[in-house]
Amino acid sequence: MIFFTFGFLAFFAFVLALNWALKPWPLAWRIFLLAASYYFYTVWDWRLLVALIALSFANYWFGARIKKSFYGKKKFLLVLGVASNLLALGYFKYYDFFRLSAETILQKLGVAVNLPLLELMVTAGLSFYLFKMISFLADCYSGKIDRYPLLVDLALYFAFFPQLLSGPIARANDFLPQLENGGAKFIDRPYHYVSRLMAGLFKKLLIVNYLAVNITDDVFAVPQNHGSLVILLAVLAYALVIYFDFSSYTDMSIGFAGLMGFRSPENFNFPYGALTISEFWRKWHITLSDWVRDYIYIPLGGNRKGGLRRSFNLVIAMTAMGFWHGAQAHYIFWGILHGLALGLAAYSKNLINKIRKFFLGRFVLWFITFIFVLLSWIFFRVETVSDGFAMVKQLLSLQRLDESFKLYALVAIAVGYIFIALEQHIISFLAKAQEKMPLPVWFIFVAAAIALLFRAGSDTLPAFIYFNF
Amino acid sequence: MFLLFGKNKDHKQNGAEKKFRPLTAVLLVLTVVMAAGFYNSRKVILWETRRDGGADRIFSPAMVAEAEISENLKTKLGLDDLYRREDLAWRALKESPLVFGQPEASERVLEGDQAALPDLTENKFPFEAASSTDQGESASTSIVAEEVPVSQTTLPQLTDLGTALAKKSTPFRILIVGDSFMAIGGGLGDPLEKTLLSQKDTIVTRQGKVSSGLSRQNYFDWQALIKKMIEMHRPNVAVMMFGANDNGPVIDGNGKILASWGSVNWDARYREHIDQVMDLFKNADAEIFVVGVPIMKNQALARDIKHINSLFEQEAAKYPKAHYVSTWELLADQNGNYTDYILDNSGKKRLVRTADGVHLQYYAGYYVSEAIVSQMRNYLDLQPK
């Protein structure tokens, strides 16, 4: 099920009612939420549910053993547990990449081998819950898990449906306490959560679809047909598309979870306003960035082993991030680019701190960061690295500047960036305005607004970009 | 249960939002579901019944049932006309150049060919502007150039215009139309466009629409759009691919069901829709390439598609300048069954289908594109650049 479909809305209404009705019986409530999450997931492919349940059992076992063990055995169990999760990720998500690579290498060595094929299946959500599993084991190892959870609680943490398909990647220490004693008794920020739902629907159904269909998809599909200016517009629009697509999912995830009484971590904080690339990664896909920092960068040594090693660690961590998005060279290249930029920014930290003291300096820093992020999105979106370079070359060639483009594209892009800049204020204003409404007026307002958003949106059902990752 | 039905408490604190009892949230969400479902009843039916994946067996059918009740209720309340007008207003808004741009968004004019497309907005006769680029063009194409009357000063009607324009030999003005296979992400549209653009003297315009087909004119009126696109782009070559979403009722532009899927007159009604499109291209004197839909993973869907493909093939045979290009066996295994993998030139098995068992990976897109272009070369002098 996808968040903004009508079927999901009906599912959510059912789950929401029982979620609150069952709270006086905490165990039944948690079992119900787990069953609802499993139902939500099995709609995609029942085999995925089998994998999720099996991995939940395995991680419950590994976590318990890691927590009880000491020294070498503890480390051995951690390595084994993490390796099992990575093996599952590799099998379901990267098998075909590894199969083709192995066959090619063996062919070059003169051994013609056809390795077994894997029947294709949708792997939506897999890498997100595997991140939760790996972080849980690492937290057990480092002693961050005080009380070992019940199996049902841990399974619910892995499978909680608002966060299952595309995050945010909540930490066990944040989520599990919310299950204690029947969880929240009231909805703490109802108007905020409803506003987030409306903002998510607005971004996904109207902005993303419009920009993708009318501007970006077409230019990125056959960029050789377009001049520098139109390519620049498409790249600017794509930066909006990827932000709105993913942040709309996060908005809805936070909104749905919030109405059920759960707090979720934020994933975005005005990333295109970042002054440096390291600041960008503290504002973009925050839960994944934090995960990569805590479970890849810091275990590699982080910044504790000198400047050169730090830069190397950053490149490795970001390459892993790129590979996570897909086993294609262009994702890996995108990750390396960001790793190198982060390394360079780390080296130039003192200089950057001096520059950012001045207004003009801050502007220059922002501009450099934004241009870098924009150019790197090209490599994220194209099919091959060479396509990316060809597009960058065409963009920088300043050729065919007279190619006509629709004025509405420029207006749409400008509106998109203004919306991003004001987004948090808009959501806050919307929440405050709703709070002042009498209950019947508020009901009519929300129902009419959401019904209209569906009506004004695309006639076809768009998918989320991050379901692929 | 007291949490759901208990007394409301005002937990408002300094700066914090007013908290409310969960029942309010439940009632709010139920109101939203009912209102959004009622107002968007047709979209509910479309989205919840024709999805590639992710539809469940309890809540999606429940919403469809609510949508069907809503539709009946609207009819009983005499709201049909109001909704029809409202629907037209939304369509006009969505198709407005000020809102969503013009349908020629994917127009391609290659470098050096800028003058190839005459300006139709100033009531010029098309060839007045285009004639200069005709000079020096290769005459080796199979679409034969003929004399064109130049005395007209007003924009001719579609039929005259198409006939006259198609007499140009090159560049090949290729119009690609189709469902999600031809849209971005379907896996065939952009590889085919790129492959055709890698040939000499080609201008390619592509228009794909997800979930569309020729059976449901009320959802997407391809006949009307193709007519517009012929006026705008004056194609002398057309590539069309439909059918993957058409195993349902044949519905006209007013929403009237002409034939249910599986009924005795379904074929006849669907053939009429195919012919309407073919006639548009025929009147434009375009060389028509009708691309069949590849084999599907779902066996029931594959059976339906095979039947629909056969109708396209039979209709194409009725038009002298129409050619059916089958892709079914291209993506089938040696036994003619569905496969996710095919062998590449080096003997390695390459993934060709997406997880939905319908759409194509880009490798397959280029593979099928090459096969289509290869067949096009039998009728057009397409030369690689």
Beta carbons of A408 and B220 less than 8 Å apart = no
| The pLDDT value given to residue A319 | 94
Per-residue pLDDT of B40-60, as tens digits, reads 998 888 788 765 555 688 898
User: Which residue from A259, A435, A461 is facing B51, i.e. has the nearest CB?
Assistant: A461
- Chain B residues with CB under 8 Å of A185 CB are 3
Question: In this predicted model, which residue has the larger pLDDT, B108 or A106?
Answer: A106
Distance of alpha carbon A323 from the chain centroid: 14
Give A25→chain B minimum CA distance, Å: 9
Note whether A452 and A206 are within 8 A (CB): no
Per-residue pLDDT of B177-218, as tens digits, reads 999 899 876 789 989 998 998 898 898 988 888 778 999 888
Q: Could you tell me the CA-to-CA distances from A133 to A40, A130, A198, A289 in Å, in that order?
A: 19, 5, 31, 16
Q: Could you tell me the CA-to-CA distances from A468 to A166, B235, B276 in Å, in that order?
A: 9, 36, 38
Give A189→chain B minimum CA distance, Å: 6
Question: Is residue B48 less than 8 Å (CB to CB) from chain A?
Answer: yes
- Chain B residues with CB under 8 Å of A222 CB are 108, 190, 193-194, 197
| The pLDDT value given to residue B9 | 43
Residue B99 pLDDT greater than 90, yes or no: no
Interface list for A 248-287 with B (CB within 8 A): 259, 261
| The pLDDT value given to residue A462 | 63
Question: In this predicted model, which residue has the larger pLDDT, B106 or B289?
Answer: B289
CA-nearest of A157, A187, A196, A154 to A260 is A187
Beta-bridge mates of residue B353: B360
Instruction: Tell whether ipTM is more than 0.95.
Output: no
| The pLDDT value given to residue B21 | 76
| The pLDDT value given to residue A239 | 96
Per-residue pLDDT of B228-238, as tens digits, reads 999 988 999 99
Residue contacts between A and B (CB atoms, under 8 Å): 220
Residue B139 pLDDT greater than 50, yes or no: no
Give A37→chain B minimum CA distance, Å: 13
| The pLDDT value given to residue B6 | 39
- Chain A residues with CB under 8 Å of B56 CB are 1, 7, 11, 39, 43
| The pLDDT value given to residue A168 | 94
User: Which residue from A21, A443, A454 is facing B1, i.e. has the nearest CB?
Assistant: A21
Per-residue pLDDT averaged across B335-356, rounded? 85
- Chain B residues with CB under 8 Å of A212 CB are 184
Residue B304 pLDDT greater than 50, yes or no: yes
Cite the active site residues of A. Answer: 325
Minimum CA–CA partner of A407 in chain B: B98
For chain A, the residue count is 469
Lowest model confidence (mean pLDDT) among A314-328, B123-137, B154-168, B226-240 = B123-137
Rg of chain A's alpha carbons, rounded to an integer? 23
Beta carbons of A120 and B219 less than 8 Å apart = no
- Chain B residues with CB under 8 Å of A383 CB are 362
**Average pLDDT of chain B, as a whole number:** 77
Beta carbons of A1 and B55 less than 8 Å apart = yes
Beta carbons of A259 and B25 less than 8 Å apart = yes
CA gap A77, A90 in Å, rounded = 19
Contacts 24+ apart (CB under 8 A), A39-42: A39/A11, A39/B56, A40/A1, A40/A11, A40/A161, A40/A164, A41/A125, A41/A159, A41/A161, A41/A164
Beta carbons of A43 and B2 less than 8 Å apart = no
DSSP A420-450: HHHHHHHHHHHHHHHHTS-HHHHHHHHHHHH
Question: Is residue A47 less than 8 Å (CB to CB) from chain B?
Answer: no
The pTM for the full model equals: 0.80
In chain A, where the domains are located: 6-182, 190-275+356-396
CA gap A276, A269 in Å, rounded = 14
| The pLDDT value given to residue A122 | 66
Please list the pLDDT of chain A residue by residue as tens digits (469 residues): 788 889 999 999 999 999 999 999 999 999 999 999 999 998 877 888 999 999 999 999 999 999 999 988 999 999 999 999 999 998 888 888 888 888 888 888 888 788 887 766 667 888 899 999 999 999 999 999 989 999 999 999 999 999 998 879 999 999 999 999 999 988 989 999 999 999 999 998 888 877 887 788 878 877 877 889 999 999 999 999 999 999 999 999 999 999 999 999 999 999 999 999 999 999 999 999 999 999 999 999 888 877 788 889 999 999 999 998 888 899 999 999 999 999 999 889 899 999 999 999 999 999 999 999 999 999 999 988 998 999 999 899 888 777 777 777 788 899 899 999 999 999 999 999 999 999 999 999 999 999 999 998 877 666 666 666 6
| The pLDDT value given to residue B106 | 36
CA gap A319, A333 in Å, rounded = 7
CA gap B189, B208 in Å, rounded = 7
Per-residue pLDDT averaged across B329-347, rounded? 88
CA gap A402, B114 in Å, rounded = 11
Name residues whose C-beta falls within 8 Å of residue B131's C-beta, 6 or more positions apart in sequence: none
Minimum CA–CA partner of B204 in chain A: A225
Minimum CA–CA partner of B64 in chain A: A7
Beta carbons of B40 and A455 less than 8 Å apart = yes
Note whether B51 and A219 are within 8 A (CB): no
| The pLDDT value given to residue B116 | 36
Residue B148 pLDDT greater than 60, yes or no: no
Minimum CA–CA partner of A209 in chain B: B100
Residue B168 pLDDT greater than 80, yes or no: no
Query: What confidence tier does B161 reach under pLDDT thresholds 50, 70, 90?
Result: very low
User: Which residue from A10, A190, A456 is facing B25, i.e. has the nearest CB?
Assistant: A190
Peptide bond into A271 cis (omega under 30): no
- Chain B residues with CB under 8 Å of A1 CB are 54-56, 59
| The pLDDT value given to residue B122 | 32
Interface list for B 212-241 with A (CB within 8 A): 219-220
- Chain A residues with CB under 8 Å of B350 CB are 100
